[in-house]
């Protein structure tokens, strides 16, 4: 049995808490929102973000950060990506040297172009940072529907230890040392999912979505390998696997936001309707900047940015993607 602290009481943090408790671990959930802590302690479920998933009484829910970080074997950072830096900064003085921190959010910081693990390492240099990613909607993990993910650490021994922590009959975990590839796949797929949702909102079909998924992973892998990640990572769970589920699932907030954009909503209106953080909106600008920095062509990312931030209509963006200059799919 391990002692595990989960920083963040949203849908993903709550689902992982339920999974890890069922694995036999002692779990504590932390939230900085006092009303959320009180509600979760009273109702033992997150009615707005994860309805129907009961939080066992053995799981402690608290707003005491210092107490939560006093002696965990593993700390899971599960706040939305825009809040990762501030949360990590608040944690720093309570984290002991060598503390294992697992990032489970997905995003790229817009102003620095840093991955979330790099942000955590910058803010908490004494910690050992890893990442868990893959096709894993909280709504299904919290109900113990079979799911497969990948955990990545620079140290394969640490990755193996975390694999043991998370593994169960309904949650299979693979390992890799390609942290950059895992993080880029998890972050950039949200931008492509916005495009896939937009196509759904416009009334397009399966052919369109298949094209966006296929050409989307081509864009992600081109950028990722240019940045130093391994190509095979993007054709694994944290790449094509996560991209497929995020583009297709009814649980995907990025797909839903894109769907609303296709229906004529503005970005702000779509964000308000989804009622949760839409990670792809925050990653879109960063993806475009990385595309420019590394001189990698990413036409889907470029068009998503134009729709989100420049007022371009969704149907015009799709038309421009279809009418681009003729290309060879797999250059010799």
Q: Are residues 160 and 186 in the same domain?
A: no
Q: Are residues 169 and 189 in the same domain?
A: no
- Please give the biggest Cα pair distance in the chain: 62
Site of tokens 């970080």: 69
Structural domain includes residue 168: yes
Which token pair is 276? 């949760």
Structural domain includes residue 170: yes
* pLDDT by 10s per residue, the chain, length 332: 999 999 999 999 999 999 999 999 999 999 999 999 999 999 999 988 899 999 999 999 999 999 999 999 999 999 999 999 999 999 999 999 999 999 999 999 989 999 999 999 999 999 999 999 999 999 999 999 999 999 999 999 999 999 999 999 999 999 999 999 999 999 999 999 999 999 999 999 999 999 999 999 999 999 999 999 999 999 999 999 999 999 999 888 899 999 999 999 988 888 888 887 788 888 999 999 999 999 999 999 999 999 999 999 988 998 888 877 667 776 65
In tens, the pLDDT along 202-259 reads 999 999 999 999 999 999 999 999 999 999 999 999 999 999 999 999 888 899 999 9
Structural domain ending residue among the three candidates 158, 177, 196: 177
Q: How far is CA 142 from the centre of its chain?
A: 16
Which token pair is 194? 């916005």
Q: Are residues 155 and 299 in the same domain?
A: no
Nearest-angstrom CA–CA distance, 177 and 182: 9
Question: Are the C-beta atoms of residues 24 and 3 closer than 8 Å to each other?
Answer: no
Nearest-angstrom CA–CA distance, 53 and 47: 8
Question: Following CA atoms 332, 301, 130, 127 in sequence, which dihedral angle do they give, to the nearest 10 degrees?
Answer: 130
- Helical (H) or strand (E) element with 121: helix 116-123
Structural domain ending residue among the three candidates 160, 177, 194: 177
Question: Are the C-beta atoms of residues 51 and 83 closer than 8 Å to each other?
Answer: no
Nearest-angstrom CA–CA distance, 135 and 214: 16
Nearest-angstrom CA–CA distance, 212 and 191: 11
Structural domain ending residue among the three candidates 177, 207, 227: 177
- Residue range of the domain that includes 167: 3-177
The residues annotated as belonging to the active site are 189
In tens, the pLDDT along 57-90 reads 999 999 999 999 999 999 999 999 999 999 999 9
Q: Are residues 162 and 203 in the same domain?
A: no
Q: Which residues of 161-170 are buried (b: 16+ CB within 10 A; e: fewer)?
A: bbbebbebeb
């Amino acid at each position: 049995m391990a002692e595990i602290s989960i920083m963040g009481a949203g849908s993903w943090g709550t689902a992982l808490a339920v999974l890890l408790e069922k694995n036999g671990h002692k779990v504590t959930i932390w939230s900085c929102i006092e009303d959320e802590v009180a509600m979760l302690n009273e109702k033992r479920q997150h009615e707005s973000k994860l309805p129907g998933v009961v939080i066992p009484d053995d799981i402690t829910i608290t707003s005491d950060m210092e107490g939560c970080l006093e002696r965990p074997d593993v700390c899971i950072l599960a706040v939305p990506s825009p809040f990762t830096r501030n949360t990590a900064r608040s944690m720093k003085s309570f984290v002991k040297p060598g503390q294992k921190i697992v990032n489970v959010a997905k995003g790229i910081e817009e102003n620095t172009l840093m991955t979330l693990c790099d942000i955590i390492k910058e803010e908490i240099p004494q910690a050992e940072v890893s990442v868990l990613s893959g096709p894993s909607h909280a709504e299904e993990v919290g109900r113990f529907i079979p799911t497969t993910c990948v955990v990545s650490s620079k140290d394969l021994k640490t990755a193996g230890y975390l694999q043991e922590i998370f593994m169960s009959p309904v949650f299979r975990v693979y390992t890799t040392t390609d942290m950059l590839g895992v993080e880029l796949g998890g972050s950039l797929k949200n931008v492509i999912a916005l495009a896939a949702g937009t196509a759904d909102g416009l009334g397009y079909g399966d052919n369109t979505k298949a094209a966006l998924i296929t050409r989307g992973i081509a864009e992600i892998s081109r950028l990722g390998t240019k940045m130093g990640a391994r190509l095979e990572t993007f054709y694994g769970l944290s790449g094509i696997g996560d991209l497929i589920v995020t583009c297709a699932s009814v649980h995907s907030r990025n797909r839903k936001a894109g769907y609303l954009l296709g229906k004529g909503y503005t970005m702000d209106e779509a964000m308000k309707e989804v009622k949760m953080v839409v990670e792809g909106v925050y990653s879109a600008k960063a993806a475009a900047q990385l595309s420019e920095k590394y001189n990698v062509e990413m036409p889907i990312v470029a068009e998503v940015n134009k729709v989100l931030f420049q007022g371009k209509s969704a149907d015009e963006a799709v038309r421009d993607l279809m009418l681009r200059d003729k290309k060879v799919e797999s250059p010799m």
